[in-house]
Amino acid sequence: MKKVYALALFCIPLFLILGFGTTQPIGENGGQEEQAQVGSYHHETDHISMTEVGKLLERLGKEIQKNNSVTVGGKSHPIAGQGGLELSVVPRGERTTLQIEIYAGATGIPTRGKTYVSYACGRQRGTPAEFTEILAKLGKTLASKGTFVMEDHSVALEGTASVVQRMMERTRPGRGRQQPYTFYLDVVFGENEFPLPEDEQDEVEEEKRGDIKELAKQEMIGADHKAIAKVLDSLSNDLKAGKVRVGDKDLPVGENIQFGLTHLIATDGKSQRVRVGFRFGEVTPRKRPTGPRYGEEFFDAPMKKVAALLKRLGTEILESGTFKLGETEFKVTERATYEISASDRGFSIELQYTEPPKEK
């Protein structure tokens, strides 16, 4: 099952930045026990009536409720115990894609990792008005019942909570066309401090490198359900006015945002976090690279030649801050992003860095 976090919310791959689903759902990465293999099945068609699809889904749902299994391809497959669910609806022009992924067979909550996703949802394309409506319902139910209600998922606020609001700005372009600003509202409660989810460590590193920076932060300690509801109400009113405010810092939201809600639980069960978040701001058009380029491919190259090439490039970068390929010289900066992968079948390295400012 794909991870959902990505505000996170960022909530579906989008949640990666907001930390919305940065962890594994129930039944995956720790909660999923080894199951006896009963064979796999795959069915695909490019032409089917949606009525027939509805009948199929209805049948499968009834079988899970009655027998804790589904029958496909002439075989019965167990769908029981705890598990994980991912549901997404993505419009693509004239077509709409509905995806449903279910993992089953876990005997309990995940035990590996620091946190797991109890619930995550979001929209990669939405409006402030849509999110305002969601926030209004969330705050109203919390104020009256002391419970966060997100669609069919509810979270009772246990005792008091710490509330943190942050407004972040991306100062360096990341992968894809990301909106430059991110807002988080985190409500943390329980016996212990909420541990940093593993998938959010990348964001911490980005902040250390200066790829993103904090514009404003506001904290509240010992907040009850009514105080948190007021914070949600204030956020909703700001969005209605077309802005977002943290402390004395406010920014216009614009017409389009990416938003989501998540509920994460520490694997020890002693702390929880409910996050509200969204990305906003105009997307800066991507600039096409104008600097020098080089490309070449070799087949059956001797490994000694490959090793010599890697050694030469490293030495040149260390000594002069440049490296040369063919007749083209490339200048590098002090910091870079890199990715290395290796296996019995091969080795690859990818290096990314920003072009140094041109000398005047």
pLDDT digits (tens, 9 = 90+) for 193-246: 999 998 898 888 889 888 899 999 999 999 999 999 999 999 999 999 999 999
Q: pLDDT-based confidence at 186, cuts 50/70/90?
A: very high
Q: What tokens were used for 330?
A: 């490339």
Angle between helices 128-145 and 225-240 (to 10 degrees): 160
Q: What is the arithmetic mean of pLDDT over 157-181? A: 86
Res 119: pLDDT: 92
CA distance 33 to 106: 5
CB neighbour list of residue 79: distance below 8 Å, 6 or more residues apart: 64, 68, 69, 70, 102, 104
Res 71: pLDDT: 83
Least confident range of 69-78, 134-143, 332-341, 348-357: 348-357
pTM to 2 decimal places: 0.69
Q: What is the arithmetic mean of pLDDT over 79-92? A: 75
Span 314-341, pLDDT tens digits: 898 898 888 888 878 888 887 777 788 8
Alpha carbon distance, N-terminus to C-terminus of the chain: 51
Say whether pLDDT at 19 is over 60. no
Res 287: pLDDT: 63
Residue carrying structure tokens 């002693």: 270
Residue carrying structure tokens 């990669």: 124
Containing 154, the helix (H) or strand (E) segment is: strand 153-156
Mean pLDDT for all residues in the chain: 81
Say whether pLDDT at 13 is over 50. no
Span 273-309, pLDDT tens digits: 999 999 999 876 666 666 677 777 776 778 888 888 8
Res 176: pLDDT: 58
Kindly report each contact of residues 202-206 with a partner whose C-beta sits within 8 Å and lies 24 or more positions away, as own/partner. Answer: 202/16, 203/17, 203/19
Res 174: pLDDT: 60
In DSSP notation, 245-256 reads: EETTEEEE--S-
CB neighbour list of residue 68: distance below 8 Å, 6 or more residues apart: 78, 79, 80
Say whether pLDDT at 23 is over 50. no
- Inter-CA distances, 297 with 102, 294, 301, 328, 353, Å: 42, 10, 10, 16, 22
Contact assessment for residue 214 and residue 128, using Cβ atoms and an 8 Å cutoff: no
CB neighbour list of residue 182: distance below 8 Å, 6 or more residues apart: 7, 10, 17, 18, 167, 168, 169, 170, 212, 277, 278, 279, 280
Res 285: pLDDT: 64
Least confident range of 66-70, 120-124, 266-270: 66-70
Say whether pLDDT at 359 is over 70. no
- Inter-CA distances, 67 with 70, 284, 331, Å: 8, 53, 64
Q: What is the arithmetic mean of pLDDT over 82-107? A: 75
**Between 15 and 98, the higher pLDDT residue:** 98
Res 91: pLDDT: 72
**Between 345 and 271, the higher pLDDT residue:** 271
High-pLDDT (> 90) share of the chain, %: 38
Burial of 51 (0-12, 13-18, 19+ CB in 10 A): exposed
Say whether pLDDT at 191 is over 90. yes
**Closest to 183 (Cα-Cα) out of 161, 164, 155, 200:** 164
